[in-house]
Amino acid sequence: MALTLNGEQQLLRDSARNFVSTHAPVSHLRSLRDRNDDRGYSPVLWEQMVELGWAGIAIPESYGGAGLGLLELGLVMEECGRTLAPTPLLSTVLLAGNAVLEAGSEAQKSALLPAVCEGNKVMALAFEERSRFAPYQVACKAEARGTGFRLSGRKTFVLDGHIADTLVVTARTQGEVGDRDGISLFLVDPKQAGVKIERTTTLDSRNAAQCSFEAVDVPGDALLGELHQGADVLDRVLDRATVCLSAEMLGLVSQTYDVTLDYLKTRVQFDARIGSFQALQHRAVDMFCELELCKSLVLEALTAADEGRDDATMLASAVKARLTDASRWITRQAVQLHGGIGMTDEHDIGLYLKRGAATEQTLGDSAYHLDRFASLRGF
Amino acid sequence: MGELESFRNEVRDWLKASVPESLYGRPLTMMAREEPEAADLQADRKRYLERMVERGYTAPTWPKQYGGGGLTPPQAKVLQEELGRLRVPPALMGMGLTMIGPTLLVHGNDEQKEKYLPKIVTGEHRWCQGFSEPNAGSDLASLRTSAKLDDSGERYVINGQKIWTSGAQYSNWIFMLVRTDETTKHQGITFILLPMDTPGIEVKPIRLISGNSPFCEVFFTDVVADVKDVVGGVNQGWTVAKTLLNFERSGMGGGGPQRRPGATTGGGLVALAKEAVGERDGRIADTRTRDRLASLQLDELAYSLTLKRSAQTRKAGGAPGPEISMFKLYQSELGQRRDELAMALRGTDGLAVDENEVGPARAWLSAKATTIYGGSSEIQRNIIAKRVLKLPIN
Ligand SMILES: Cc1cc2nc3c(=O)[nH]c(=O)nc-3n(C[C@H](O)[C@H](O)[C@H](O)COP(=O)(O)OP(=O)(O)OC[C@H]3O[C@@H](n4cnc5c(N)ncnc54)[C@H](O)[C@@H]3O)c2cc1C
């Protein structure tokens, strides 16, 4: 219900803000990028984040987490978004980790989740096969062989796939490509024979791997959740991850706006600060309004997910559609309003533009989510 | 919480016993005044008003000594919710309750509060707002209607013209801004109250594009006003006006989805769209229409959540956030987007007009005013840029 933060949540957000601004300012991302860091994030910093409890925020206490909600994790993501701090939270916790939490057997959960909470395990969810988000477009096959399965196929845009210790892979066990039914999830060890993983560096200096599976045999207990019913798990996992990614986007767009507003107040042309020009003032006001709307939607979507409400799915699409459009508009405006300096690599605004562009495509863009939003609302 | 719940029960019982059932589910239309209503319905409205007045419920949060209900804001909200549940219109509306009353509570002296507030509460005084002039619109402070003190020092003589004065033809009092010092701009304005039947006042209705005449030109020729009716001090009128404009704007946004007569609501648009362009597997068949509707619904969702968030922040004792500054601006533009879509979907049917009814076309037309009055959208953006975003002024 509440669209306001309680005292503890405010504390958490403040401490996250403090932490990232001290230890992971934008210059941190910049240095990782400049040395083409193999992991794309700093393990040392990640360890500190883990000590703050971030990895296990939304994981139940019985598996070593803090047992808090998605809202709390979302607050942390938002703060990370503000400084573009790279973490494996999305890949390991929100995507693959949540799949284990949602669908895993007791044995699978106990084997994996405590290690996630301790920061000792990187996981990745290999589910995309196309360049445009389409989670049911699964051609990758898993055929029953003896007591186990044989996987073959390809996956793309596997976030942090090249450093994952464990992959969660979607594969078709029944039906046709595009069917919602007949998708199953499997735990795969990336070191296994037949698994090929190729790192690609994305525009935002993060990583998304291309994976291929050539006759990879996995045992029966590698199946995560029920056979053929993987889409149910996938939907829940993707919705939750989408909402948290939107929270990260809120952080990055808010910061973009703040930086731009500052620039409008300081840059002088025609003997006047450019922020005194009405054309620019009105644009800034419209961005301000948009961000207020975004804030409300993010809080509501996080809360709905935590409360397991019926409208949580509709809200997940609403928030991603909105934040995608907000990012597309505000990060582009930011570059424009910075003039030439905005085109330079030296200025941070370009990094926000690039991360914005990447998040806009990740887990579905606004065309995808607006379409889903309309369907869920009955039209 | 318990106290509020028992208050709710009390209010619910009282409303059940007091509101004539003929008024249930009867939306209040601002324009209904132009159409005569059945005599028994009018009598019921009157009875309902009297009961609400007795309990101070026409001005729920005002002090009891002035005829208000003395309710706390949460209690007032409960009252509103319960009225909403019965779908009963407010017993009384108008600028007295929403603008001049609250302003007098801030800037009026005791004598003025005692004289005017009780008559607002009962509906005896119906107020209109004499601010705008032909050459003073957005730049309100450039107004020129003059008020000169006469030799007695007890009376002002007013000469000039106001325009766009909503409801002037139905009002018996006017609060207005007059120029008392020509040598300065903002510091030469005085806020004064005046009966509309004062000799020298002439009212001429103006017909709008919607066909309605909700406002007028008002001419002042040697109109005499009492110095006791100056609010907030001579040449202090701009401060008083700013307070009043804040009340005016806060009444324009943040009220939640508005049920304007003739306007199509969000849900209604879906049905309208499916009918207009057809459906395929439950989807609106035309993708562009479907997109527009989805975007509009997303805007409405995000906006209503922002209202809710803001209300919760204030309820929790927090200072109102910067978001409240956007309500008037966003709500008026959002409403117009909805009307535009409704008009487009109705096609040529939407062009039909009926003299006696506020159909979609007239609703669409009259809503165009929402981004002009109460500070136009451009002026809202100027204000937000300056006060909220703290952008520099040239
Ligand atoms: C339905 C309706 C009811 C009204 N009721 C009342 C009433 O009861 N009492 C009363 O006193 N007044 C009333 N008004 C008047 C209303 O307040 C004015 O219309 C409003 O202030 C705009 O003034 P204007 O019409 O002179 O337009 P102008 O000020 O001339 O504006 C023309 C255009 O220029 C733009 N503009 C002006 N200045 C700037 C600027 N600095 N920067 C950017 N753009 C600018 C405006 O936004 C607008 O688009 C009413 C108006 C309407 C439409």
The enclosing domain of B312 has a CATH number of: 1.20.140.10
Q: Is the CB of B372 under 6 A from ligand 1?
A: yes
Q: At which of B93, B119, B154 does a domain end?
A: B93
Would you say residue B110 lies in a domain?
A: no
Query: Is the pLDDT assigned to residue B59 strictly greater than 90?
Result: yes
**Alpha carbons A95 and A240: distance in angstroms, whole number:** 9
Residue B220 structural domain = 127-235
Min Cα distance A81 → chain B (Å) is 21
The domain spanning residue B211 has which CATH number?
A: 2.40.110.10
- The DSSP element (H or E) to which A232 belongs, if any, is helix A230-266
For the domain covering A7-120, report its CATH number.
Answer: 1.10.540.10
More confident residue, B314 or A351: A351
Would you say residue B36 lies in a domain?
A: yes
Min Cα distance A17 → chain B (Å) is 20
* Minimal-distance CA residue of chain A relative to B315: A4
Min Cα distance B369 → chain A (Å) is 20
On whether any CB of chain B is under 8 Å from the CB of A378, the answer is: yes
Domain A232-376 fold is: Butyryl-CoA Dehydrogenase, subunit A; domain 3 (1.20.140)
Q: At which of B93, B117, B142 does a domain end?
A: B93
A232-376 shares the fold of A124-228: no
- Sequence ranges of the domains in chain A: 7-120, 124-228, 232-376
Its pTM stands at: 0.91
Query: Are residues B172 and B67 part of one domain?
Result: no
Give A124-228's CATH code, choosing from 3.90.1010.10, 2.40.110.10, 3.40.50.2300, 3.30.43.10: 2.40.110.10
Query: Are residues B147 and B261 part of one domain?
Result: no
Query: Are residues B137 and B82 part of one domain?
Result: no
**Tens-place pLDDT, residues A222-257:** 999 999 999 999 999 999 999 999 999 999 999 999
Would you say residue B119 lies in a domain?
A: no
* Minimal-distance CA residue of chain B relative to A271: B394
Our mutation pick for probing the ligand 1 site, out of B196, B376, B394, counting the most ligand atoms within 8 A of Cβ, is B376
User: If pLDDT is split at 50, 70 and 90, which confidence band does B258 have?
Assistant: very low
* Minimal-distance CA residue of chain A relative to B280: A379
Query: Is the pLDDT assigned to residue B288 strictly greater than 90?
Result: yes
Cβ separation B384–A292 shorter than 8 A: no
Active site residue B248: yes
Closest atom of ligand 1 relative to the B130 alpha carbon: 11
Q: Is the CB of B370 under 6 A from ligand 1?
A: no
Cβ separation B313–A321 shorter than 8 A: no
How many angstroms is it from B372 CA to the middle of ligand 1?
A: 5
Our mutation pick for probing the ligand 1 site, out of B133, B145, B164, counting the most ligand atoms within 8 A of Cβ, is B164
More confident residue, A281 or B252: A281
Would you say residue B88 lies in a domain?
A: yes
User: If pLDDT is split at 50, 70 and 90, which confidence band does B325 have?
Assistant: confident
Active-site entry in B248, B279, B355, B378: B248
How many angstroms is it from B145 CA to the middle of ligand 1?
A: 17
Query: Are residues B218 and B275 part of one domain?
Result: no
Query: Are residues B358 and B281 part of one domain?
Result: yes
- Measured between beta carbons, which residues in chain A are less than 8 angstroms from residue B328? none
On whether any CB of chain B is under 8 Å from the CB of A145, the answer is: no
- Report the domain count for chain B: 3
How many angstroms is it from B375 CA to the middle of ligand 1?
A: 6
Would you say residue B112 lies in a domain?
A: no
Q: What is the pLDDT of residue B260?
A: 59
**Tens-place pLDDT, residues B119-158:** 999 999 999 999 999 999 999 999 999 999 999 999 999 9
The predicted complex's ipTM stands at: 0.95
Cβ separation B290–A272 shorter than 8 A: no
